[in-house]
Amino acid sequence: MLGNKYGTHRVLEPKGVLPQPALRIDNNMDVLYDNEILVDVSMLNIDAASFTQIKKEVGADEEKVANKIMEIVGKRGKMHNPITGSGGMLIGKISKIGKALEGKVKVNVGDEIATLVSLSLTPLKIERIKKVHLNTDQVEVKAKAIIFESGVYAKLPSNMDRKLALAILDVAGAPAQTARLVKPGDKVVIIGASGKSGTLCSYVAKKYAGVTGKVIALVHSKERAKHLEKLGITNIAEVDATDAIEVESIVSKFTNGEMADVTINVVNVPNTEMASILATKNYGIVYFFSMATSFTKAALGAEGVGKDVNMIIGNGYMTGHAEIALETVRESEKIRGIFESLYVN
Ligand code: NAP
């Protein structure tokens, strides 16, 4: 029995939509369509905007967060946060490959993989949550998941810790897109620079902007941004990114009023669209990777202040993004050390 390649055969509500925007999908793991892959899931990496929202709603308590995750997956058949709309990704071992995919996919039963499509569209059934890691957004589980025919996934590298690979692959689109956007000599502002994607983007932006460029790292707390100095990032300012006027003033000082050629937004909280827009020069680029970004706030906000900026939605997928992100961490001992200390415990 063949399912739809995008997974619409598992959509229960509302009928006719794709699995990502669906409110409820079928997570019955006893039936495997011939073009699906079944995965024994060991760990979830909840999207940072979603995890932050859940911790805010129920409190930073392992049991309460676990209960909320069970509740969401119970209702939706997938880890699709109803407030942020975002998901995350998972790692697990392939336990079955549908007949129609046998020999056509580059993985075998038993291979350990990370999904590169969002948990917000991935059928998931959690038997048990073993441990919630409140500081890394990672959740150890005994669960099963389905990958659709159109799904994207990567074999976990054998020479890298699983938690490290999971942390990097969760935000793989951000460093890859940064490498595409930043040119030599650019002034690049990174909002939320001390976070997971922020750290990767800062490193990549510095590499591509080169000695004639400038990377300006805006962080919530300088204390939590010490690792950026180890990467040679020296222009660091502490600011609440929801304060657009303050952000504009700081970026203006760093750039002698010129403002940024490229602004990269990697925060995990809402209401930072205007800071990103005001930080950027006319005809510059704003790259919204944050899942807390509102299209309406960005579009109407830019219009409201008369800013002619090109705004890019952070597509989680980009050709070669997994390899680029993993290589970014492999090529530098410094960034690998930072990631190991922050995300492997
Ligand atoms: P993260 O590690 O949690 O980093 C978020 C950063 O934002 C932290 O450094 C945090 O600083 C900072 N921050 C929070 N509130 C702030 C404020 N008011 N002002 C300034 N900085 C603030 O998150 P991540 O895993 O890198 O993810 C970043 C964003 O990308 C999230 O929104 C996530 O949902 C999104 N994402 C998008 C995709 C995609 O496909 N587009 C994929 C994965 C993730 P403190 O910790 O010091 O507060």
In this predicted model, what pLDDT tens digit does every residue of 202-252 receive, in sequence order?
999 999 999 999 999 999 999 999 999 999 999 999 999 999 999 999 999
pLDDT single digits (tens) 156-188: 998 899 999 999 999 999 999 999 999 999 999
pLDDT single digits (tens) 89-118: 999 999 999 999 999 999 999 999 999 999
Tokens in use for 208?
């591509």
- How high is the pLDDT of residue 125? 98
Establish whether residue 221 lines the binding site of ligand 1, counting it when its CB lies within 6 angstroms of any ligand atom: yes
The domain defined by 173-338 folds into Quinone Oxidoreductase; Chain A, domain 1 (3.90.180)
Atom 40 of ligand 1, nearest CA residue: 316
Q: In what order do the strands lie in the sheet with 138-147?
A: 124-133, 138-147, 37-46, 88-97, 112-115, 153-155
What's the whole-model pTM score? 0.94
- How high is the pLDDT of residue 68? 98
Establish whether residue 170 lines the binding site of ligand 1, counting it when its CB lies within 6 angstroms of any ligand atom: yes
Over residues 127-142, the mean pLDDT reads 97
- How high is the pLDDT of residue 6? 98
Atom 12 of ligand 1, nearest CA residue: 192
Report CA(258)–ligand 1 centroid distance (Å): 26
Q: Bigger pLDDT: 162 or 68?
A: 68
- How high is the pLDDT of residue 345? 74
Establish whether residue 135 lines the binding site of ligand 1, counting it when its CB lies within 6 angstroms of any ligand atom: no
- How high is the pLDDT of residue 280? 98
Helix axes 62-76, 48-58, angle to 10 degrees: 120
Calpha distance 95→112 (Å, rounded): 10
Over residues 257-268, the mean pLDDT reads 98
- How high is the pLDDT of residue 22? 98
Strand partners, 124: 145
Query: What is the pLDDT of the chain when averaged over all its residues?
Result: 96
Establish whether residue 269 lines the binding site of ligand 1, counting it when its CB lies within 6 angstroms of any ligand atom: yes
Q: Bigger pLDDT: 10 or 160?
A: 10
Establish whether residue 198 lines the binding site of ligand 1, counting it when its CB lies within 6 angstroms of any ligand atom: yes
Atom 16 of ligand 1, nearest CA residue: 220
Report CA(49)–ligand 1 centroid distance (Å): 7
The domain limits of the chain are 8-156, 173-338
Q: Bigger pLDDT: 159 or 47?
A: 47
- How high is the pLDDT of residue 158? 87
Mean pLDDT lowest for which of 20-24, 83-87, 159-163? Answer: 159-163
